Amino acid sequence: AKNASEKAREQLARGMPQVPSMNSQNQKSSTSTPEPIASRLGVDYPFPPHLEYAYPPPDGNILNNIVNSLIAVPRFYNQVY
């Protein structure tokens, strides 16, 4: 079985888009009705179960961008003690 990182690399290599999905953690059972994406925002349909999303493995550039964003926008993250 391939892990999410390997699947993401294969999808990127094939030029496949990466999109959100309903995975088994978000579904109660295969017979239950999936919940809407955001019914209070008017999105009353569920994620298509055949679509998957995979983050690329983090590299130095990605981590550097995250750190720079946190520094540039101090209110983005507040630690409360």
Residue 29 has pLDDT above 60, yes or no: no
Residue 23 has pLDDT above 70, yes or no: no
Mean pLDDT of 22-30: 48
Rounded to whole angstroms, the Cα distance separating 26 from 34 reads 8
Section 2-29 average pLDDT? 55
Write the CA distances from 49 to 19, 30, 39, 53, 77, integer angstroms.
11, 10, 18, 11, 33
Residues 31-76: tens digit of each pLDDT: 667 888 888 888 898 988 888 878 888 899 999 998 998 888 877 6
Does position 15 have pLDDT exceeding 70, yes or no?
A: no
| pLDDT attached to residue 76 | 62
